């Protein structure tokens, strides 16, 4: 199986021994505590699950700036996005060397991790702007990732952590949420060697489904891992439980047995386009995938990135920095000429009128009105789940 990033074995920071976890929880009750931002809590979950191997905790300012500017830490580890614990107020932990970290996303704000504090530094406004510009490619507050990052505060708390639980993901998404450790075990049990990962924060329409098939066929892969984001999204995105139901229905009905692994991960979406695409590659390598599908406007939002910027950035990845390979895909859509889904770059004789196109706004209107999109766009079983969601959540009618 493919090696984890920068290590011979996964560096999972989750404390799995019950006795050790109980000791740490007892200790945490005596320690100064810091309430995390949702983003920092998600970073703790990713560290706990081994997705952020080989990191041992949150980065300091020097590493964050180096990663933002050069995509590597001060010590030379390739990494595309700073992994930070930023706070507006660190007065409760000033001068503390060991602290408890509390989870803002669970009732009662329980302890999610115990941290050995290396430093508490102030990130200057200029430094924060520089990180923002390099990671997100824009300083516009209208960008959802920029808005979240800018709101996190300027106090940077760095150091190693021991993770005591995986927040709300295990309880809210049983059977779907998996750590990188668990996915590697799943892949090994299935006997897969060549594994294609497909990243999604949305339900999968027919074009996405066919893109997965194209990648599997062309790479002669043993299976595909559909890996959905389960954390915080921007307003208007489909909730994770609905997305999960759609994807599972599609896989159950339209894919052969033991060809697809459906799972999810506990991270808040950054909408950072190219940089987030590289981060996706890092933690897909850590979970055991050998290839990652990177499509048009991967991890993008609005018009902040060019349609293929998320593919072009991999040309900047130093040779040998990553073992995972990229399957570069164009936009896929149903061809009226060929009666199948095609990649647009592979149909040079087509005009826009030759494809079945529906805007996101149009699809939402149809679903809200109880009208299923055409079968050339969406599987009817998937459309039904989405119509039920829009009826209950938007129209206020019980599903």
So which residues are the catalytic ones? 201-202
SS3 content of the chain, % helix, strand, coil (to 5): 35, 20, 45
Q: Which helix (H) or strand (E) holds 120?
A: strand 111-122
Q: What is the 3-state secondary structure (H, E, C) of 24-73?
A: HHHHHCCCCEEECCHHHHHHHHHHHCCCCCCCCEECCHHHHHHHHHHCEC
Please tell me whether residue 228 adopts helix, strand or coil conformation. strand
The structure tokens listed for 211 are: 């893109």
Could you please report the per-residue DSSP string of 266-290?
-------THHHHHHHHHHHHHTT-S
- Angstrom CA distances, 312 to 126, 219, 239, stand at 28, 20, 30
Put the strands of the sheet holding 355-356 in their side by side order: 340-343, 332-335, 355-356
Burial tier of 30 (Cβ tally within 10 Å: 0-12, 13-18, 19+):
exposed
Phi (first) and psi of residue 140, to 5 degrees? -70, 125
For residues 192 and 186, the answer to whether their CB atoms sit within 8 Å is no
d(CA 243, CA 177): 13
Cβ count within 10 A of residue 189: 8
Could you please report the per-residue DSSP string of 83-115?
---EES--GGGTT-SEEEEE-TTSTT--EEEEE
The radius of gyration computed from the CA coordinates of the chain, to the nearest angstrom, equals 21
Q: Which of 5, 123, 3 is nearest to 55 (CA)?
A: 5
d(CA 204, CA 215): 15
The structure tokens listed for 188 are: 């090994």
Burial tier of 394 (Cβ tally within 10 Å: 0-12, 13-18, 19+):
exposed
């Amino acid at each position: 199986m493919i090696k984890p990033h920068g290590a011979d074995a996964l560096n999972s920071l989750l404390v799995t021994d019950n006795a050790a976890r109980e000791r740490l929880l007892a200790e945490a009750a005596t320690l100064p505590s810091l309430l995390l931002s949702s983003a920092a809590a998600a970073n703790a979950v990713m560290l706990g699950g081994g997705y952020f191997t080989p990191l041992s905790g949150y980065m300091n300012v020097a590493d964050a700036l180096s990663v933002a500017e050069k995509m590597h830490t001060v010590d030379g580890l390739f990494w595309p996005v700073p992994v930070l614990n930023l706070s507006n107020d660190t007065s409760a932990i000033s001068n503390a060397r060991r602290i408890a970290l509390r989870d803002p996303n669970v009732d009662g704000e329980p302890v999610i991790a115990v941290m050995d504090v290396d430093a508490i530094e102030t990130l200057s406004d200029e430094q924060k702007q520089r990180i923002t510009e390099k990671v997100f490619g824009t300083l516009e507050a209208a960008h959802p990732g920029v808005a979240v990052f800018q709101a996190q505060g300027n106090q940077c708390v760095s150091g190693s952590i021991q993770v005591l639980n995986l927040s709300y993901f295990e309880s809210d998404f049983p059977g779907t949420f998996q750590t990188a450790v668990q996915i590697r075990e799943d892949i090994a049990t299935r006997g897969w060697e060549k594994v294609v990962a497909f990243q999604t924060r949305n339900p999968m329409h027919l074009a996405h489904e066919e893109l997965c098939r194209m990648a599997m066929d062309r790479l002669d892969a043993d299976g595909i891992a559909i890996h959905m984001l389960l954390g915080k999204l921007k307003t208007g995105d489909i909730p994770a439980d609905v997305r999960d139901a759609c994807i599972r229905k599609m896989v159950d009905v339209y894919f052969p047995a033991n060809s697809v692994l459906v799972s999810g991960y506990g991270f808040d979406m950054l909408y950072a386009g190219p940089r987030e695409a590289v981060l996706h590659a890092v933690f897909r390598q850590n979970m055991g995938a050998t290839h990652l599908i990177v499509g048009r406007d991967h991890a993008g939002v609005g018009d902040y990135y060019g349609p293929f910027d998320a593919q072009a950035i991999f040309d900047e990845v130093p040779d040998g920095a990553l073992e995972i390979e990229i399957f570069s895909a164009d936009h896929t859509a149903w061809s009226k000429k060929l009666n199948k889904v095609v990649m647009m770059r592979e149909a040079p004789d087509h005009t826009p009128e030759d494809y079945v196109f529906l805007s996101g706004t149009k699809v939402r209107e149809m679903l809200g009105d109880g009208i299923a999109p055409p079968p050339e766009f969406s599987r009817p079983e998937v459309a039904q789940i989405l119509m039920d969601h829009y009826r209950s959540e938007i129209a206020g009618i019980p599903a």
